[in-house]
Amino acid sequence: MEPELFSEVLSSLPMEVAITDEGGRILWANEAFSLLTGYGRTSSSMLIRQFLLMFAEDRPEVFVKGADGQLSLRILTRWSFHDGKKVVWSFERLVADPKGVLSSRDSLTGLLGREWFFREAGSLLAGARFEGTSFVLMVIDLDGFKRINDLYGPEVGDEVLRIVARRITGHLRAEDMVSRTGSDEFAVLLRDVADPAGIARRVLASIRERMVVGGHALSLSASIGAGVFPRDGLSLEELVAAADAALLTAKAHRDTVWFCTPEVRRRIMHRWDMERQVLDQVREGRIHLFYQPIVRVTSGMLAGVEALSRLRGEDGALVLPEEFVPILEEGKVIHLLGRKVLALAVLQGELWKARGLFVSVNISPQEFLHPEFVDVVREVLDASGFPPELLMLEVTESSLVGDVDRTVQVLSALRDEGIRVAVDDFGTGYSSFASLKRMPVDVIKLDRRFLHGVEESERDRAILEGMTHMAHGLGLEVVVEGVEREAQLEILRESGCDYVQGFLLGHPMRDVAISHLVG
């Protein structure tokens, strides 16, 4: 084909086309390409060259902002001339957006959808690398929204979120972006802003202002974590991790903004390293279970055991759950450990079931609220053959105070399987006997703090006895933890509690030692 005719054909195509050499230097571009990219008008050829070379992979989807400022989703295609020295590039417009990205808006607040927001952030980050510009990613988490939603209902909660969205948007410029990224979480992208901390403080102040919704005067606060490109990360993943880490620090103080610092980054690296070590041990089955005896008060006989997980540190020392469980919870992977612990515990329990010993396993709030939690428990029991009536699951009070309907549904499903549920550390947090009336649970475990002073104070003994009697009145059994002295045990016998647990009865021990006790 003659060069003139070839050029005429390319110019007439209903898509943006450019020809470059091997190094990405533009040799020719049609009018549509120039209009879209600004080549020969407002954009430097070097910048466009770097952009093309960055997307040299096979047919990536990219966001392109045209001269009219409108964003469109395109497929970038490249193919080489037969001589291998020239490359043809074209942008193919996606008339239908297969992933619904461009039309994705949060239906409640009208803000950008999460997927759209982060895809656009990724595109902006790629451009910022070559332009030498910076931007700030802020993640905003509302403090106390869950309490408002639970107390006043979802209609009030939804209106609060709409008000917060308007207040955040009111402090941003037209070129900034904001998205609702979670139930009570927002993300903001600030481009080339001189005082991001000032904007963050104004956002916090506006959220803090009193609002009246449904006749209720409400107060709310927020915590903000921020990461700066390129200082805190060169990829979107790194920047999100930096902002999330800063948010954790901000939430520890509440109602404040925290930027990622070298110390915060050091903690990120430590957490990632610890998470990797823990997950490696979980996946490889290198979890050590210890079992603490639970004794029936009336007979003094071993009635069951509580399974307690341990990991082995790089120095060979045992690592306790309080060191690694929070890391797995932050990484949203605690369910991996939970399933492994449950499987190991019931497998060991199979060896003791002839003696009627029950096995108690701790369940984290994240596990309990996981949509597949009940199915996982069923699968583990089916695989092991362990009797469900000998399994007791310990849930924390915080697991029971969120979505009450969902909580009752999960508890009822477990009860239908014949599994008992215990509320761990009852009386130290949110739960009360009134709240237990709706909850199909079987046991409460009283924290060791209820034993403080019972040997000297009649008042403390009366509290302990009163809680035991109220639990029995609701058809619940009572386990008292932290028993360390004979005098405490004698008082518990008189109080009428059902089971005791503590160093007096036995420290956490390996399965061999429990088998020896069982005989």
Instruction: Tokens for 425, please give them.
Output: 């550390």
Please give the pLDDT value at position 101: 46
The 257-259 sheet, strands edge to edge: 177-182, 185-191, 135-143, 221-229, 257-259
What is the pLDDT confidence band of residue 1, given thresholds at 50, 70 and 90? very low
Residues 222, 350 share a domain: no
Residue 398 has pLDDT above 50, yes or no: yes
DSSP letter for each residue of 146-180: HHHHHHH-HHHHHHHHHHHHHHHHTTS-TT-EEEE
What is the pLDDT confidence band of residue 95, given thresholds at 50, 70 and 90? very low
Residues 161, 298 share a domain: no
What is the pLDDT confidence band of residue 335, given thresholds at 50, 70 and 90? confident
Please give the pLDDT value at position 416: 95
Domain that holds residue 153: 114-260
* Nearest CA-CA partner of 424 in 321, 337, 505, 354: 321
Please give the pLDDT value at position 437: 79
pLDDT mean over 15-27: 76
pLDDT mean over 425-446: 79
pLDDT digits (tens, 9 = 90+) for 201-232: 999 999 999 999 999 999 999 999 999 998 88
**CATH code for the domain of 50:** 3.30.450.20
Mean pLDDT value across the chain: 83
- Is the four-CA dihedral 190, 114, 142, 279 of positive or negative sign? negative
pLDDT digits (tens, 9 = 90+) for 266-321: 777 777 777 777 778 877 777 899 999 999 999 999 999 999 999 887 777 888 88
- In 365-408, DSSP assigns E strands to 391-396
Which tops the pLDDT comparison, 346 or 48? 346
Over the Cα atoms of the chain, what is R_g?
Answer: 30
Q: Say if 255 falls within a structural domain.
A: yes
Residues 401, 276 share a domain: yes
> Where is average pLDDT lowest: 46-60, 123-137, 312-326?
46-60
Residue 246 burial (CB count, 10 A): 27
d(Cα 498, Cα 442) in Å, to the nearest integer? 12
Q: Say if 130 falls within a structural domain.
A: yes
Residue 159 has pLDDT above 80, yes or no: yes
* Nearest CA-CA partner of 102 in 88, 90, 117: 117
Final residue of a structural domain among 93, 127, 146: 93
Final residue of a structural domain among 93, 125, 157: 93
Residues 188, 63 share a domain: no
pLDDT mean over 43-50: 52
Q: Say if 266 falls within a structural domain.
A: no
> Where is average pLDDT lowest: 22-31, 159-168, 361-370, 469-478?
22-31
Q: Say if 102 falls within a structural domain.
A: no
What is the pLDDT confidence band of residue 93, given thresholds at 50, 70 and 90? low
Q: Say if 106 falls within a structural domain.
A: no
**CATH code for the domain of 253:** 3.30.70.270
pLDDT mean over 250-258: 90
**φ, ψ for residue 48 (rounded to 5)?**
-65, -40
Residues 287, 250 share a domain: no
Please give the pLDDT value at position 102: 47
d(Cα 189, Cα 175) in Å, to the nearest integer? 9
Number of domains in the chain: 3
Residue 94 has pLDDT above 60, yes or no: no
* Nearest CA-CA partner of 165 in 198, 211, 122: 211
Residues 446, 313 share a domain: yes
Please give the pLDDT value at position 104: 64
Q: Say if 477 falls within a structural domain.
A: yes
Residue 111 has what DSSP assignment?
P
- Which residues are bridge partners to 18 per DSSP? 29, 89
DSSP letter for each residue of 306-326: EEEEEEE-TTS-EE-HHHHHH
What is the pLDDT confidence band of residue 46, given thresholds at 50, 70 and 90? low
The answer to whether 358 and 384 are in contact (CB under 8 A) is no
Residue 251 has pLDDT above 70, yes or no: yes
pLDDT mean over 156-177: 92
Residues 142, 87 share a domain: no
* Nearest CA-CA partner of 420 in 438, 396, 401, 444: 444
**φ, ψ for residue 485 (rounded to 5)?**
-130, 150
Which tops the pLDDT comparison, 183 or 418? 418
Residues 176, 30 share a domain: no
Which tops the pLDDT comparison, 30 or 383? 383
pLDDT mean over 379-393: 96
> Where is average pLDDT lowest: 5-9, 236-240, 393-397?
5-9
pLDDT mean over 113-137: 81
Residue 421 has pLDDT above 90, yes or no: yes
Residues 406, 453 share a domain: yes
Final residue of a structural domain among 219, 236, 260: 260
Residues 233, 203 share a domain: yes
Please give the pLDDT value at position 397: 78
Residues 211, 154 share a domain: yes
pLDDT mean over 127-153: 86
Question: If DSSP codes are grouped into helix, strand and coil, which group holds residue 480?
Answer: strand
pLDDT digits (tens, 9 = 90+) for 49-87: 555 555 545 555 555 655 555 556 566 676 666 566 677
- Which residues are bridge partners to 113 per DSSP? none
Residues 424, 514 share a domain: yes
Q: Say if 120 falls within a structural domain.
A: yes
pLDDT digits (tens, 9 = 90+) for 440-474: 999 999 988 889 889 999 999 999 999 999 999 99
Please give the pLDDT value at position 447: 87
Q: Say if 41 falls within a structural domain.
A: yes
**CATH code for the domain of 510:** 3.20.20.450
Which tops the pLDDT comparison, 28 or 141? 141
> Where is average pLDDT lowest: 168-172, 328-332, 443-447?
328-332
